[in-house]
Amino acid sequence: MQLSRRLFLHLAAGAAAVPAMSRNASAQAYPTRPVRIIAGFPPGSAADITARLIGQWLSERLGQQVIVDNRPGAAGNVATEAVVRAPADGYTLLLATSANAINATLYDNLNFNFIRDIAPVASIGRTPYAIVVTPSFPAQTVPELIAYAKANPGKINMASAGSGSAPHIFGALFMFMAGIDMVHVPYRGSYFPDLLGGQVQIVFCPVPSSIGYIQAGKLRALAVTTAARWQGLPDLPSVAEVLPGYDVSLWFGIGAPKDLPTAVIDRLNKEINAGLSDPKLNTQLADLGEVLLPMTPAEFGNLIGNETGTWAKVIREANIKPE
C-alpha cells in the first residue's frame, strides 16, 4: 500500500511538472526577437540614457537587440500606459521612475493602476538631489534655512520643474517635515537662469544638474536629500542629519506588464543585477550621478509601494494638482 502511494505521488508530481517544464523551457528560450524598453522621457534625458545603458547590457547578455522607444508625455504616463496594454511576453518593458509613484496620486483619471498593472522587474539606481540656494541667501546650513524660513514665512521662492515634478514634491515634503512655508514657483523651462539671477532663492535639484554650478561657486548646496551622504560631495551633509526620516531621490528601474511569467522576470532581474556589478556599466551609471540600487523584484516592489504611499500623503496634504 505504501509503495502504491509513493508511485501515485511520483506520477502526480510528474504530471504537475509538465506545464512548469513548458514554462521553464519558454523562459530559457527567451528572447527570440528584439526587446523594447519604453521610456517616458525624451532622448538625452537621464531616464533615456539609463535605459540605453541597460538596454546595451541586456543586448549583450540576452543575445537579442534591446531597443529604447522614447514616448514622452504626461510625465511618463503615455509610456506607462503603452506597457500596461502590451502583451505580457517580456518583449515590451518600461523604464520605471519615481514619476510613476508620484503620478499614481497626482493624476485622477489614469487608465491604469501602476502598482496593480506593472510588475516590478529590477531596480537600477537612484540619483540624489540637493538643496541648492543662491550665494547671497543668508542660510548656510539646513538648520539656518529652517530658522530663516520660520522667521520669514512665504518670503522664500522655491523653484521647480513644474507642479507635481520631483523638485516640487521633494520640497513640499521638506516643508511639511520642517514646519515651514516657501512659495512654489513652477517653471516650464530651466529654472537655472532665475536661480542664478536671484529671482528665486532655492531649489531641490538633481545633483548632476547642479554640481558644476556648485563647484564653480555660482550656487551653494546646503545638503543632499538621500539618507546617507553622497560620495561625490562627501563633505555635504544629508537632510536626514537634521530631519530624521527625510530620504528622497529620483530612482530608475525596469517594469513589465503585470502577467509576465515569473521565470522571465527572474531572468531579467538576474541579468540587470549582474550589470550593476559590472565595472564598466557601474562607472557609466555613476557618471550620471546614480547610486546603484540592485534589488530582487519583491524588494523593488516594496520600494515602489512605499514611495507611492509617501507621495500620496504629500500630494493630498499640499493639494498639488498637475499642470
Number of domains composing the chain: 2
- Does residue 4 fall inside a structural domain? no
User: In this structure, what C-alpha cell is assigned to residue 121?
Assistant: 522587474
What percent of the chain is modeled with pLDDT above 70? 91
> Same domain, yes or no, for 152 and 234?
yes
Written in H, E and C, the secondary structure of the chain is CHHHHHHHHHHHHHHHHHHHHHHHHHHHHCCCCCEEEEECCCCCCHHHHHHHHHHHHHHHHHCCCEEEEECCCHHHHHHHHHHHCCCCCCCEEEEEEHHHHHHHHHCCCCCCCHHHHEEEEEEEEEEEEEEEECCCCCCCCHHHHHHHHHHCCCCCEEEECCCCCHHHHHHHHHHHHHCCCCEEEECCCCCHHHHHHCCCCEEEEEHHHHHHHHHCCCCEEEEECCCCCCCCCCCCCEHHHCCCCCCCEEEEEEEEECCCCHHHHHHHHHHHHHHHCCHHHHHHHHHCCCEECCCCHHHHHHHHHHHHHHHHHHHHHHCCCCC
Q: Which of 183, 151, 186 is nearest to 167 (CA)?
A: 186
Q: What is the mean pLDDT of residues 263-273?
A: 98
CA-to-CA distance for 72 and 61, rounded, in angstroms?
Answer: 27
More confident: 57 or 21? 57
> Same domain, yes or no, for 156 and 210?
yes
Q: Which CATH number covers residue 171?
A: 3.40.190.10
- Does residue 45 fall inside a structural domain? yes
Q: Which residues contact 195 (CB under 8 A, 6 or more apart)?
A: 132, 134, 159, 201, 203, 219
More confident: 180 or 4? 180
> Same domain, yes or no, for 140 and 228?
yes
Residue that terminates a domain, selected from 241, 267, 301: 241
> Same domain, yes or no, for 217 and 275?
no
pTM here is: 0.87
Residue that terminates a domain, selected from 241, 268, 301: 241
| Per-residue pLDDT tens digits for 161-185 | 999 999 999 999 999 999 999 999 9
> Same domain, yes or no, for 145 and 213?
yes
Query: What pLDDT score was predicted for residue 265?
Result: 98
Query: What pLDDT score was predicted for residue 25?
Result: 46
Mean pLDDT of the chain: 91
Q: Which residue range is the domain that position 213 belongs to?
A: 128-241
Residue 62 pLDDT grade (very low, low, confident, very high; cuts 50, 70, 90):
very high
- Does residue 30 fall inside a structural domain? yes
> Same domain, yes or no, for 122 and 254?
yes
CA-to-CA distance for 78 and 73, rounded, in angstroms?
Answer: 6
Q: Which residues contact 292 (CB under 8 A, 6 or more apart)?
A: 124, 125, 276, 282, 285, 286
> Same domain, yes or no, for 52 and 117?
yes
231: pLDDT strictly greater than 90: no
> Same domain, yes or no, for 152 and 226?
yes
Q: Quick check: 106 and 308 in contact, CB under 8 A?
A: no
Can you say whether the dihedral through the CA atoms of 56, 61, 62, 64 is positive or negative? positive
Residue that terminates a domain, selected from 241, 262, 277: 241
> Same domain, yes or no, for 152 and 114?
no
CA-to-CA distance for 309 and 168, rounded, in angstroms?
Answer: 17
Q: Quick check: 167 and 258 in contact, CB under 8 A?
A: no
- Does residue 14 fall inside a structural domain? no
Residue 300 pLDDT grade (very low, low, confident, very high; cuts 50, 70, 90):
very high
21: pLDDT strictly greater than 60: no
116: pLDDT strictly greater than 50: yes
Q: Quick check: 231 and 108 in contact, CB under 8 A?
A: no
